[in-house]
Structure 1
Amino acid sequence: MRDNSTSGAAVGFLLNLIDSGDAERIRRRIGLPEPEEEPTHEARRNTLLWSWARTAVPSSVLLWVLEEDDPELNQWVWRHVSADNAMRRAIARGVPFGHARVEPLTVAESVQLSDEPPVPGNFTRFGLVGALREGTSMQSARTAASMVLERSDWQAVTEADQDRPLPGYARWALSIRPDCPPALRARFGTHRKFTHRVEEAGVLDGPADYATAWGPASHVLKVLSTGHLLFPARVGDAENALRPLVREHLADHEDAWAVLAQLVDTFHGNAVELVVTAGAVA
């Protein structure tokens, strides 16, 4: 195969879902280099993280990394091209995202509180809920929504909306936050068009959704190949979603893997369609 960092990582991620002996034989057959050991060397690890930080991803992928509550990983989310002001503000303040943690996180030295995005004027004048109610455009609503950080903030927003529904812009700005509590997002809308637009904004049900429904496959699989480093608690869901398909359509068939290796660079569909297509062609 014409190996590069993207296609090699993509095929390698799928090969890890079959028997290791079969995977080694198929690697030799299709000319895929042996997988490197876990990137423990700092320079090699940083190279991988720099590459990841320049790769656009749905916002939920960044949330999965933040849920690790690892200050070192948080500094890479801070640098990520897809990170927004809400995420950077939370990272600078040491806000935890893992469900089991309540105490603040240590903040990496490379992230300074002085680098936090400016506090919006409406927040200073009207407070959190007041700023959300004052939002008269999507931009102003998203700016106000970037101040929702702690669990207590989300609770205050929920109670405010129960007392008197928030304006539409505010509801939408909160809905497309990947850390918006599912129950609150459901209050804002449940119809198919709404949920489709939320997903298009980068909010996913989980890694299984990302692995099976998003594309192009090479891009998604490369991101998932970093999962054991960046979001180890969640990457198993993606593996479990793809493993039965890989074993059914590719298994240990060298020809099917050779076809997949030829297709992966230019295939525009998702990983499920890639696997099924490669198996059918072979």
Structure 2
Amino acid sequence: MTWGNNLPGVHFLLSLVEPGDAAVVRRRLGIGKPERHVYSRAAQELQRLGAPRSVWLWVLEEDEPRTRGLVFHHSGTPDALKNDILRGRPFGRGETWLPMAEHCVDAFCSHETREIPVGPNGMIGELRAARTMGTARIAVRSVTSEDWAEVAAADEAEPLPGYARWALTERIDCPARVRTQFGSHPKFAHRLRQAGIVELVQYVETTRPPHAVLGVLHFGRLLFPRRLEEAVAVLSPLVRSELGADPDAWAVLAQLLPTFAGTVPELVRTSGAIAHAGR
């Protein structure tokens, strides 16, 4: 069997069963243990796999100095968030401020904080004046981590325009409570998913195709291990019950994985069902 780019996903699922069972399956499928990756390579794989934009916040939440630079240099990271990274703001549960690692991924890039101009109406005034998506995104550029409470309070006093709300929601660092304040309708949630703003459990349970999702989770073991535990809690019981140490079920999964159009849970259940039906 030619594994190609699907092997990381199999490695991730195998990490959810007992090590002895995983070793038996590896021998049966003819695959070794997963190779070790450096942070920069893992980040490149996330981009290749089309990881949701929220993944970069999950990386920041680790408060790992060696990976903060990866988010800083990601093309989709807004300048206000880059400034927060440079200042050493913690994004996880800790309170210790963390400067950029000495050996950044791009030694030639400027690591000076960037001045972000605020329009003549002030931050809130510019948000209220936004009448197009373009002007809203310009207004949102100046919102820093210290400003979210003020933004939420202004919206509570008088709802911000729809364009401004959406531009704020698109920011990966927009607090969940503020997003909820902006909208909770299923259509709003659907648009968020399309924009790559997802919760990890939601991503695992609903996103397709599974080979991309499982690849993201595999590299997440290195880049966002603490948040990954949410995915492990969801998938581990299912993988153990449906696949376990059954090499036949794993062989079915390996055959289905490259082209399976459903979700990860559907893939696991289908693989177990086909293997059991064949006996």
TM-score bin (small chain): 0.7 to 0.9
Q: Residues 134-167 of structure 1: CA distance to partner in whole angstroms, max 9, x if unpaired? A: 22211221232232222x2001101211222211
Aligned to 2:143: 148
Task: Report matched runs for 1:85-234 at 5 Å.
Answer: 85-101=79-95, 104-108=97-101, 109=104, 110=106, 112-114=110-112, 116=114, 119-120=116-117, 123-150=118-145, 152-205=146-199, 207-234=200-227
Q: What are the ranges of 5 or more consecutive residues in structure 1 without an aligned counterpart?
A: none
Change (3 A) 1:46 1:234: same
Aligned to 2:23: 24
CA contact (8 A) 1:132 1:170 kept: yes
Change (3 A) 1:125 1:198: same
> What root-mean-square deviation, in Å, do the aligned CA atoms of Structure 1 and Structure 2 show?
2.3
Cα distance between partner residues in 2 of 1:173 and 1:85 = 14
What SS does the corresponding residue of 2:120 show, helix, strand or coil? helix
Cα distance between partner residues in 2 of 1:88 and 1:55 = 23
* Structure 2 residue 3 is the aligned partner of structure 1 residue 3: yes
Q: Which of the residues 237, 244, 252 maps onto 2:237?
A: 244
* AA of the residue aligned to 2:89: V
Cα distance between partner residues in 1 of 2:237 and 2:110 = 45
Give how far 1:271 is off: 0.8
Q: What are the ranges of 5 or more consecutive residues in structure 2 without an aligned counterpart?
A: none
Moved more, 52-61 or 228-237: 52-61
Aligned length: 270
User: TM-score with structure 1 length normalisation?
Assistant: 0.86
Cα distance between partner residues in 2 of 1:2 and 1:81 = 33
Give how far 1:53 is off: 4.6
Cα distance between partner residues in 1 of 2:125 and 2:86 = 24
Cα distance between partner residues in 1 of 2:47 and 2:72 = 9
What SS does the corresponding residue of 1:148 show, helix, strand or coil? coil
Change (3 A) 1:148 1:272: same
What SS does the corresponding residue of 2:250 show, helix, strand or coil? helix
Change (3 A) 1:256 1:173: same
Percent of residue pairs bearing the same amino acid type: 43
User: TM-score with structure 2 length normalisation?
Assistant: 0.87
Cα distance between partner residues in 1 of 2:48 and 2:75 = 6
Give how far 1:72 is off: 2.1
What SS does the corresponding residue of 2:197 show, helix, strand or coil? coil
What SS does the corresponding residue of 1:29 show, helix, strand or coil? helix
Q: Residues 185-209 of structure 1: CA distance to partner in whole angstroms, max 9, x if unpaired? A: 222112221122222222223x222
Cα distance between partner residues in 2 of 1:270 and 1:153 = 37
Change (3 A) 1:64 1:47: closer
Q: Residues 9-54 of structure 1: CA distance to partner in whole angstroms, max 9, x if unpaired? A: 1001001111111111111111222233x54xxxx55433443354
